[in-house]
Structure 1
Amino acid sequence: MPLIQSLASRLKGEMALALGRTFLARGIAALGSLALVIVLGRLYGAVGVGVYALAHALLMGAAILARFGMNNALMRFVGEDHHSPHVMRYLLWACGRALGASSVIALATYFGRGLLETGFGAEGLSEVLVGISIATPAFTLGFLFSGFFKGVRRPATACLLENGSVALLAGVLVVLLHQYLHFTGMAVIGWAYAGAAWLVLGQGAWQLWRWYGRQNWSVKDSTPLPSVDRHQFKTSSQAFFVMSLAGFMQTVLSIMVAGWLLSDEGLGLFKTSQQTAMLISFILIVINAIFPPRFARLYREGNFQALGRLARQGALLGVIIAMPILLICLFLPSLLLGLFGSEFPQAAPLLRIIALAQLINVATGSVGFLLNMTGHEALMRNIALICNAIGLSAFFVMIPPFGPLGAAIALSFALVVQNLVALYFVWRKLGIWTLPLPNVMNGLGIKPELDR
């Protein structure tokens, strides 16, 4: 009861506005990704969703490699002094390097699309990859702009430059191309995604121009030299890139492995279940956009009691908001999956498994950010890399005998293990228990290192 009362009091105060704005911006992004899958499921069936899943995984992988952690480096260095005119120099460094890398990857994707289709055995993939190759530079630069806007304290604008907004606009373009221009075939997916990526980037460039015009930087010669040089920026980007490899394994390599081992239809069912279950963890994405700076401040102040209370409040809020969607996924999965088309309700067992894993993800709270914001980022990086590597290996073990169900089990295993291991180390290193349940660590006699 005290925790619930404290949470209710906090939501009436300074955090309510931040949560509301971020919830709206993140909601557009999250629903955009789901809406595109619904559109593709209705128009192309599970096979089409499977081909899209492979193409999108290749695009995400290209963007992660091309931006090389520079979006997070921008968020860090721009955020340190976002009123300095030198922040534009950091953005130009990042954009120049990312544009060159993404262009090379785009050309490789375009000319190698036939080999990729043959390798994955996905008919129609080469058609989609024509548009995807065109989208690659814009998609990559959009993430860099997003990192920049996070640094200048514009998180809502930043959210609208990432994957979800592109997907939402791509879904609209697919419908328009089908309904009014009567275009058919898999190539429509790629062209719609290319158009959406460049339109979103154009909107970001316009927002950047407006922001730049409001800065009072008329006398630039008198400003001091930038505190960050190219070498420091590159070194920081490399560190963030290593941390992003865990996400690369989870969002890119896992889909590629599943696409290689499963049929297009099986991959489509798996992708649909995964995307739908993401609705459960949506509130955690919102919380992770707001709470981490507060974690860092409380840790610097040495206020572990307030830090632990805030972490538990975040986990409790996540469980409360996620519960209705979880119940629908568990007890009415066919109704939810029916939105994608008549063949998708057969993925109900997959959705139930991934939904339960997402519940663990939400219930453990922001354990990853707790470690990252309190000087334990190397530990969290190692946890993520090892757990995702094990989970990726599980795809090879579970998919051959169990098909799409095995992919769902492997994905859920990696997600649950990573969160439980992080939960353990948050308790050991910080003495904080985030689960809104009795502390089993105390019952097992496991004490935090702070007590020693």
Structure 2
Amino acid sequence: MLDSFKTLLIIMMRAGSARAIIVVGSVGLTIFLGRSTGAEGLGQFSILQSIIMGAGIIATCGTDLAILKFASGDKETRSKSILIYALKVVAIPLVLIVVVLGIMSEAIYAFFNFSFSTSAWLIFTVAITSYVVLNITSSFLKARTFAFRGSIAEPAIIPIVALVCCITGYYASDFLSLDFIVKSYLAASALALFFSLFSICYSFGKGGLVELNRTEKKAFKHSAQHFFVYNIMGLSQSVGLILIVAAALPPADMGVFKAVERIVVLANVVIMMLNSFIPPKIAHAYQQKDYTKIQHLVDFSCMAGVICFLPVFLICVMFPEAVLSIFGEGFEGGASVLVFMVSAQMFNVATGPMLYLLNMTGHQMIATLILSFVTVVILPAAYYFSHILGLQGAAYSMAALYTVPKLILVFICLRKVKVFPFIGMFKRVLGS
């Protein structure tokens, strides 16, 4: 049975309310950084965030996506067991990564010329642990169809809490240093971790756990391994690109690039809002071999994504200098970069959840191979073009990461799953 567009819209609005809170925090914190510490301070903080995010993705070991696949449509007691097992799987990798980064902290600070003095051990322990636990618990809540709670429990909620701390500190002292912002981010990570654990306990309800048998554990681990490789490729494209660009660009240009990326990432908020409930529904429909429902879900995702992102796209294309001026002085030079990148992101939104579609329908290996190919080709080119063309070269690289894999994925999904963006909608219109 197909969910009506009205039903899907209601679910999306519930997740969207959480996304609205998250985007205020993410963009607001970036604006505070730009205005208080300038482009150079913003560049340093963005590099630190990228290191935390990269370490968190590695430590998660693909269990977040495996939970989305295995816990959707299952009995509550079994889903709880899957969550507990996932937390056990990530415990050792998490400790190892925190220890390695702590040992390398002096070298990391020196290489990126970090000017803040907050303890690296404290940063990596609190922030990375929070990222991993939030990722896993958020996936569990989404798989259990708690769209709003699952969205709020994501790592992306941390900036809104950090923003509140920054605003409080600014009005208390009329001064906002990079060190204070880093400490605010740490406090926000700890609070978000507490909230995530509370959400899980609240959502568990009554009922005991069902011990997973060896076959179920093996299937979960096997799926998590595929998703881990997929996450590593995605990590190379997002975090890897930021770090490569940071190595090639001056700190001030890196700050401008990060400001542009924060605006463009508004589209990711729309994408993540849809991904908070679309992938589990796709996985459930695939288990029932209901390809009509899968096409229906993809059509809705494409249409809703375009409608939600269109106002941001039009404002950025028509008034790029005015948009960048909100970050303070020295950011207006990225206007042409903003127009170029926001156009590439619109294409990304309009083509729907193709990567999730492959992952949720048993084609993880194909998705991984596509991402691997794109990563091997584009990342080395990103350093070259960023070094030669500066900010413009970094924009070309980011745009390529948005568009090239999506083009390939669209045609792979048509061949493997017989699903194509908007085609189901066109058939219904023509049929009527």
TM-score by length of 2: 0.88
What's the offset of the Cα at 1:40?
0.9
Higher normalized contact order (CA 8 Å, seq sep 6+, divided by chain length): 2
Q: Which of 143, 146, 151 does residue 143 from structure 2 map onto? A: 151
2:32 is equivalent to residue 39 of structure 1: yes
Per mean C-alpha deviation after superposition, the further-off stretch among 397-406 and 203-212 is 203-212
2:160 is equivalent to residue 168 of structure 1: yes
Q: Aligned AA for 2:17? A: L
Residues 226 and 365, structure 2, Cα contact 8 Å, conserved in 1:
no
What's the offset of the Cα at 1:351?
0.8
Give 5+ residue unaligned stretches, structure 1. Answer: 1-6, 440-452
Question: CA separation in 1, counterparts of 2:424 and 2:147?
Answer: 32
Question: In the alignment, which residue of structure 2 is the partner of 1:406?
Answer: 393
Name the CA shift for 1:127/1:182 in 2 (closer, same or farther; >3 Å). farther
Task: Work out the number of aligned pairs and report it.
Answer: 424
Residues 40 and 49, structure 1, Cα contact 8 Å, conserved in 2:
yes
What's the offset of the Cα at 1:150?
2.5
Listed as ranges, the matches of 1:181-200 within 5 Å are 184-200=176-192
Task: Classify the secondary structure of the residue corresponding to 1:79.
Answer: coil
Question: CA separation in 2, counterparts of 1:310 and 1:144?
Answer: 24
What's the offset of the Cα at 1:433?
3.2
Listed as ranges, the matches of 1:106-255 within 5 Å are 106-120=98-112, 122-124=113-115, 127=118, 129=120, 131-133=122-124, 134-180=126-172, 184-212=176-204, 214-217=205-208, 226=213, 230-255=217-242
2:277 is equivalent to residue 284 of structure 1: no
Per mean C-alpha deviation after superposition, the further-off stretch among 128-137 and 168-177 is 128-137
What's the offset of the Cα at 1:47?
0.7
TM-score by length of 1: 0.85
Listed as ranges, the matches of 1:51-70 within 5 Å are 51-70=44-63
Give 5+ residue unaligned stretches, structure 2. Answer: 427-432
Question: CA separation in 1, counterparts of 2:123 and 2:265?
Answer: 23
What's the offset of the Cα at 1:191?
1.2
Fraction of identical pairs, as percent: 25
Name the CA shift for 1:136/1:76 in 2 (closer, same or farther; >3 Å). same
Q: Aligned AA for 1:175? A: I
Per mean C-alpha deviation after superposition, the further-off stretch among 394-403 and 366-375 is 366-375
Name the CA shift for 1:20/1:323 in 2 (closer, same or farther; >3 Å). same
Larger Rg: 1
Deviations 1:321-366, CA, capped at 9 Å, x for gaps: 3222111111101111111112212111111111011011012122
Question: CA separation in 1, counterparts of 2:297 and 2:203?
Answer: 33
Name the CA shift for 1:373/1:81 in 2 (closer, same or farther; >3 Å). closer
Name the CA shift for 1:435/1:264 in 2 (closer, same or farther; >3 Å). farther
Task: Classify the secondary structure of the residue corresponding to 1:180.
Answer: helix
Q: Aligned AA for 2:188? A: A
Q: Aligned AA for 1:16? A: L
Deviations 1:374-404, CA, capped at 9 Å, x for gaps: 3333212211221133221221221111111
Q: Aligned AA for 1:118? A: A
Residues 68 and 280, structure 2, Cα contact 8 Å, conserved in 1:
no
Per mean C-alpha deviation after superposition, the further-off stretch among 199-208 and 303-312 is 303-312
Residues 316 and 363, structure 1, Cα contact 8 Å, conserved in 2:
yes
